[in-house]
Amino acid sequence: MPPDLSTSPPAAYDIAPRRTGVLVPVPPKETSVENLDTFRAEVAKWLEENCPASMRKPMTSEDEANWGGRRKQYTNPDEKLWLDRMAARGFTCPTWPKEYGGGGLSNAEARVLAEEMRKLRARQPLVSFGITMLGPVLLEYGNEEQKREHLPKIVRGEIRWCQGYSEPGAGSDLAGLQTRAEDKGDHYLVNGQKIWTSYANYADWIFCLVRTDTNAPKHDGISFILFDMETPGVSVSPIKLISGSSPFCQTFFQDVKVPKKNLVGKTNGGWTIAKRLLQHEREMIGGMGFGLGGSGGGASIEQLAKDYCGDDAGRIADPIVRFEVAQHLMDQRCFMTTVRRSAEEAKAGQGPGAASSMFKLYGTEMNKRRYELLVRILGSQALGWEGQGFSPRELSTTREWLRSKGNSIEGGTSEVQLNIIAKRVLGLPD
Amino acid sequence: MSLALSEEQELLRNTAREFIAEHSPVKELRRLRDTNDPVGFSRELWGQMAELGWAGIVLPEEYGGADLGWAELGVVLEECGRTLAATPFVSTLLLAANALLLAGNGTQKKDLLAAVAKGQTVLAFALQEGAHHAPYQVATTAVATKDGYQLTGKKTFVQDGHVADQLVVVARTAGKPGDRDGLSLFLVPKHARGLGVQRTTMVDGRNAANVELAGVEVDKSAVVGTLGRGAEVLDPVLDRATIGFSAELLGTITEAFERTIAYLKTRKQFGVPIGSFQALKHRAAEMFTQVELSRSIVLDALRAIDEKRPDVPALASIAKARVSDAAHLVGNEAVQMHGGIGVTDEEEIGLFLKRARVAELTLGDAAYHRARFASLAGF
């Protein structure tokens, strides 16, 4: 779901005036150290009292994450309790304004909250595309009614969103999208097809790019609309991947009626919003800890290497595997430190910048290298597909290795990220 | 400590950048090289840097130092690296003075550190013996005599060895090469009998020397730290020096990268800037990523020293490995992307490649530091 670059804004920062670093601006709010300490004590106590014991255990697979939504079935009542308690304080969206259900925290306070949650090994109570992608652009581009309607439901996990971006003919060339939305007076009539719609089969609503002017240059005829997936004419078909899972869908629209009030921003002004949302998506993908963990907890990669490749007096016996494990752990550290630096170097009031491309690029490529290394370490035990003879972890490594191949494609391919860095960060000419 | 530069650090950076651009641009290194300058750096420049407080920037005030942090030292070193400025920072401050500061006795510190901070004394650190950095692979021996010790052995790649007033020599008082135990550090004055120093001409035009110790006699007061437990000094000295040196190398690769990007924007072929070609854009973006990762880890490592964090040894290895790999990539790509002009002596970019390669190997290359990191991490 990557951007076409031909109308990207001019280089946001040039290399000529030397700078000390990359910028992923986060709006800083001043919070004194004293207040932070008070906040930390309060939040630690609150978490200790409110986080149920079963929510303090690491998830064993991605499937255990709570995405919320109308169709969510809670098998563990603690999961619901934890979500409701966190949502009541706005802690599922800690930095969003309180008036829309958010926590109203400064970035420093949000970091403290995250740190205290980590100390308890508390699970994220809610993950969603509403939190990471739609919410931030609604805050920036949505009208008051849209913010009041949609943001609190995202905070509380009541509505699960999906992203209607890519089409069969519009992958890297996203702005070439063909899904039409005809103006029928009080509503739009939407016809077309989306693809790679993550979890569309579980989603309640979709944020969708549609063509509202077929005569304008391709970037100037796109609008950003929202609609309910239960609207007549919407149908969904999951796509089976090489990993065996089906996180993506094809989504079809046949004469879908969408109220005009569900247009975000201006008619034909959707590309600006689309690109901003992609920055948030890249940040999410780059920063979601790709390459930092994986394979459902358990033994560290260095321990696995000793277990599967031999332990020579405390050393990984295979010197090349030892070398690669060291390289990987060092890469992780450099990457995490860069994420931290860009936040610390951020300037007030700026949206996420082109550095999100670097994080997306490096985070996903590092994650792919991690799985290649894991497969190398686990050997034929990482090549089982199902059934007897393999531990659950071995089988999940196989699937995750295959799944990781999509990381550098979804959300803008690595090649597109390189284009964005070259153009927007380095200012190289077209 | 934030990884972003403070206002004071930005001010220091601007001062350093202006000063170095004026007094030690890249052409100054070329002049030193082409005139076979006997010293290999400008003593006048080093004196001016001392006046600015840089020669003793991390030394305590009681020895005339500025008592600033390694984060500040890193700012200055990075700027030196940008113009390939030849200075005795690494030999004198990062290695030898640092060893004296950590382990020297009162007299050694009093006599030498103040002179270092004033820019009056140049020191060298004689450790390496083979073609690779391997700190415990020391065969040079120190045998006890009636009044002191007799040192015998050969050292190589000793930065500023031929102009040092005193050398800190790592020798073995017990054990065999490769042992961590049994190492000792000695101060050896330049005129000691039996000390032979031969300057070696390196590809980057910077100073190095071979040092031969043919039964050099020193007295007991020459020992730095505790006899036989030199590794306890050597390890933290090398960690800090490696981190500081990584900051200098970071400056060098940042400059080489930025010059290359500027060239991609101006050089035209087929009627367009060559930077418009996707084949070059992608490689430029890869380099950018490597340089940014290098910067983050160097900044964190410098701050780790100031914060006395326990991960300094690991960070020293992560930083040097990362910056060395980036230097390898950027050095090679910079020359390639400059095309024919890039392989001429006249164009300065070649000097960056040469310096990058020497620096890559100095104090351990990426392979050395990956292996060391693995050992530190228990695998």
pLDDT, tens digit, 9 for 90 and up, residues B10-27: 999 999 999 999 999 999
CB contact under 8 A, B377 and A302: yes
- The pLDDT of residue A339: 86
Query: Nearest to residue A87, comparing CAs of A73, A98, A77?
Result: A98
CA distance B44 to B41: 9
Cβ(B183)–Cβ(B169) below 8 Å: no
- In the three-class reduction of DSSP (H, G, I as helix; E, B as strand; rest coil), residue B152 is classed as strand
Work out the average pLDDT over A260-284: 91
Catalytic annotation present for A415? no
Name the residue with tokens 């990987």. Answer: A328
Sequence-distant (6+) residues with CB within 8 A of A32 are: none
Tens digit of each residue's pLDDT (9 = 90 or more) over A210-221: 999 999 999 999
A253 phi and psi, to 5 degrees? -125, 120
Tens digit of each residue's pLDDT (9 = 90 or more) over A336-356: 999 888 888 875 333 445 588
* Token pair belonging to B174: 């017990």
Tell me whether B12 touches chain A (CB under 8 Å): no
- The pLDDT of residue A8: 34
CB contact under 8 A, A323 and B371: yes
User: pTM of this prediction?
Assistant: 0.86
Q: What is the ipTM of this complex?
A: 0.95
**Which segments of A103-228 does DSSP mark as H helices, in order?**
107-120, 129, 135-141, 144-155
* Torsion sign (Cα): A136, A140, A141, A146: positive
Sequence-distant (6+) residues with CB within 8 A of A430 are: A6, A423, B276
Tell me whether B285 touches chain A (CB under 8 Å): yes
Residue B95 in this model has a pLDDT that exceeds 80? yes
CB contact under 8 A, A421 and B285: yes
From B58's Cα to the closest Cα of chain A, the distance in A is 22
A93 phi and psi, to 5 degrees? -135, 70
- Out of A109, A116, A281, A324, the active site residue is A281
CB contact under 8 A, B379 and A333: no
- The pLDDT of residue A343: 81
Closest CA in chain B for residue A362: B289
| Residue-averaged pLDDT of chain B | 97
Cβ(B150)–Cβ(B215) below 8 Å: yes
CA distance A175 to A190: 17
Cβ(A249)–Cβ(A234) below 8 Å: no
A15 vs A245, which has greater pLDDT? A245
- Across the interface, which of A16, A302, A330 has its CB nearest the CB of B379? A302
- The pLDDT of residue B371: 97
Query: Chain B interface, mutation test: which of A315, A328, A333, A373, most B Cβ atoms within 10 Å?
Result: A333
- The pLDDT of residue A122: 93
Share of chain A above pLDDT 70, in %: 87
Tell me whether B80 touches chain A (CB under 8 Å): no
Cβ(B296)–Cβ(B307) below 8 Å: no
How far from each other are the two terminal CA atoms of chain A, in whole angstroms?
Answer: 22
Work out the average pLDDT over A269-274: 96
- The pLDDT of residue B152: 98
Work out the average pLDDT over B128-149: 97
CB contact under 8 A, A419 and B281: yes
- The pLDDT of residue A9: 32
- In the three-class reduction of DSSP (H, G, I as helix; E, B as strand; rest coil), residue A160 is classed as coil
Tens digit of each residue's pLDDT (9 = 90 or more) over B258-308: 999 999 999 999 999 999 999 999 999 999 999 999 999 999 999 999 999
How many CB contacts within 8 angstroms connect chain A with chain B?
A: 138
- The pLDDT of residue A59: 80
- The pLDDT of residue A283: 74
- The pLDDT of residue A289: 53
- The pLDDT of residue A18: 26
Pairing of strands B141-144, B123-126: unpaired
From B9's Cα to the closest Cα of chain A, the distance in A is 11
Closest CA in chain B for residue A360: B289
Chain B hits for A312, CB-CB cut-off 8 Å, are: none
Q: Which amino acid type is present at position B108?
A: Q
- Across the interface, which of A314, A315, A338 has its CB nearest the CB of B296? A338
- The pLDDT of residue A32: 63
CA distance A135 to A127: 12
Work out the average pLDDT over A138-156: 97
Tens digit of each residue's pLDDT (9 = 90 or more) over A86-106: 999 999 999 999 999 999 999
| Residue-averaged pLDDT of chain A | 87
Tens digit of each residue's pLDDT (9 = 90 or more) over A354-404: 588 999 999 999 999 999 999 999 999 999 999 999 999 899 999 999 999
- The pLDDT of residue A353: 53
CA distance B306 to B318: 17
Chain A hits for B9, CB-CB cut-off 8 Å, are: none
* Token pair belonging to A265: 């921003």
Chain A hits for B256, CB-CB cut-off 8 Å, are: none
